[in-house]
Amino acid sequence: MEAPDEALMLAYGGGDAGAFEILYARHRGALFRFVLRGVKQRALAEELYQEIWMRVIEARHGYSPTARFTTWLYTIAHHRLVDHWRRRELAVAADSDVAELSAGAASDPARQAEARESLARFARALEALPHAQREAFLLHEEAGLTAMEIAAVTGSETEAVKSRLRYAVAKLKAAIDHG
């Protein structure tokens, strides 16, 4: 049975560096994608991603498992992204490299192009979402947080989070359907 995240974080606070490595391995991918799709620039995403983990390291002694570790981790990430968004107005990127990466599996060139275009449209729709809606969607998809947990992370009402999720999903679904 795997040790829960909260126990690992407490162990790390007690000086067990190995516990941190397990914790890091569990969350690195999802957290990175959450940040990357929040800021849409890889170099900046890497910088912010590192800062978030540094804050986790610095706060190791003050950590108390009052909530899920994931909620705590993404609260730190949320605050870091909010800081970033306050300083900088994000431009919606028109093209998407990621679409090309994933659409290459189809064998038929016509279908391949269609799939690529469909995925690019989806990526643009995601990037075009308002910050709050995109963040709620990413927290749900990447971190697996419930609406209530997203509300705790972002300091919002649960109903407001549900509403953001509804709008986000509706816009993304529209981008798929209109392909």
Residue 146 is a binding residue for other proteins (CB under 8 A): yes
Residue 173 near other proteins by CB under 8 A:
yes
First to last CA, the chain: 44
**In contact, 42 and 98? CB cutoff 8 Å:** no
Angle at 72 between CA 161 and CA 18, to 5 degrees: 145
Closest CA relative to residue 138, chosen from 50, 74, 73, 55: 74
Amino acid at 146: T
Q: What is the DSSP letter of 104?
A: G
CB of 89 to other proteins, least distance (A): 23
Provide the minimum distance between the beta carbon of 55 and other proteins in the complex, in angstroms, as a whole number.
Answer: 8
**Rounded CA gap, 73 and 141, in Å?**
15
CA 40 to chain centre: 11
Tokens of 68: 């899920």
Pattern 59-98, other proteins, x by CB under 8 A: xxxx---------------------------------x-x
The reply to whether 165 sits near other proteins by the rule CB under 8 A is yes
Contact between 32 and other proteins by CB under 8 A: the answer reads yes
* CA 88 – CA 131 distance, rounded (Å): 12
Does 54 participate in binding other proteins (rule CB under 8 A)?
yes
113 binds other proteins (CB under 8 A): no
Q: Is 49 in the site for other proteins (CB under 8 A)?
A: yes
Residue whose CB is less far from other proteins, 18 or 131: 18
Please report, as ranges, the residues that interact with other proteins according to CB under 8 A: 12, 15-17, 20-21, 24, 28-29, 32-33, 36-37, 46, 49-50, 53-54, 57-62, 96, 98-99, 101-103, 118-119, 122-123, 126, 140-141, 144, 146-147, 162, 165-166, 168-169, 172-173, 176
